[in-house]
Amino acid sequence: MPKIKVAFLGTNGWYDTKTGNTLCILIETPHEYVILDAGNGIYKIDQYMKEDKPIHLFLSHFHLDHIIGLHILAKFSFPQGMTIHCAKGGKRLLNKFVANPLTAHLGEIKLKVKIAELGKKNPSVPFLEKQLFLHHKAPCLGFRFNFGGKVISFIPDTGICDNAIKLAQNADLLITESAFLPGHNSAEWPHLNPETGALIAKKAKAKKLALVHFDAAEYPTMKERKMADKCVKKLFKNSFAAVDDQVVFV
């Protein structure tokens, strides 16, 4: 089984604070680099990506804290280029968002970027096992990856839903969002908290759980984040509240 490296480059939700950057996670396998969402943490990828393996960026949805880092791509010159995978309609949207007069257009920067919309008939790449829509204010995709037998599931912005549990089945590493503090919920703006993250992990029989996407207003300091860590560990033993620059191996 391959050893997979997971680097949490940005673990905040909504906006950057002293606790960290907005959401970006880098997965390194023996064959490829896979980036999950393009929050501001994406500025660090060149500290980790030293080989010329293919680079795939998966966007869960188009809320700004998940795509705000796309204008930073102009910094990079990876010779192999990058493929951005996103939901249908994303190509049109990104061509307007990462474009004049807001920033340099994706087509003009050094890095060669290709945008691939995820259709029903995916996989566009062999390691993407499944993508399903979650329960969020805007359509948001969750992903299930299988890297040579090691499964990593990514459940970003959502309230608790069946598709989250489907994606997480027996995952070696389940990464869920935890925008809300323990005990907090909202029907109008569905998000997870440490308890519901742990519940998904339990129901899906995941092996390890990482919490990310701590809403910057709910979690203003590391004190709240430590509270989330304590809370999630009580409910699901093999779990942690991730912090920026943390690296784990799966």
Shortest gap between Cβ of 241 and Zn ion (angstroms)? 16
Buried b (16+ CB within 10 A) or exposed e, 141-179: bbbbbbbeebbbbbbbbbbbbebbbebbeebbbbbbbbb
Shortest gap between Cβ of 34 and Zn ion (angstroms)? 19
DSSP β-bridge partners for residue 12: 22, 214
- The nearer residue to Zn ion, 32 or 37, going by C-beta atoms, is 37
Shortest gap between Cβ of 210 and Zn ion (angstroms)? 16
Shortest gap between Cβ of 57 and Zn ion (angstroms)? 16
Shortest gap between Cβ of 48 and Zn ion (angstroms)? 22
Q: In what order do the strands lie in the sheet with 239-241?
A: 128-133, 141-147, 150-155, 173-177, 209-212, 239-241
- The nearer residue to Zn ion, 13 or 194, going by C-beta atoms, is 13
**CA 236 to CA 152: how far, in whole Å?**
17
Q: What radius of gyration do the chain's Cα atoms show?
A: 17
Q: Is the peptide bond before 123 cis (omega within 30 degrees of 0)?
A: yes
Q: Which residue has the tokens 């990310």?
A: 212
Question: How many CB atoms lie under 10 A from the CB of residue 45?
Answer: 24
- The nearer residue to Zn ion, 16 or 172, going by C-beta atoms, is 16
- The nearer residue to Zn ion, 65 or 244, going by C-beta atoms, is 65
- The nearer residue to Zn ion, 157 or 229, going by C-beta atoms, is 157
Angle at which helices 194-204 and 222-235 pack, to 10 degrees? 30
State the residues that interact with Zn ion by CB under 5 A.
13, 63, 65, 157
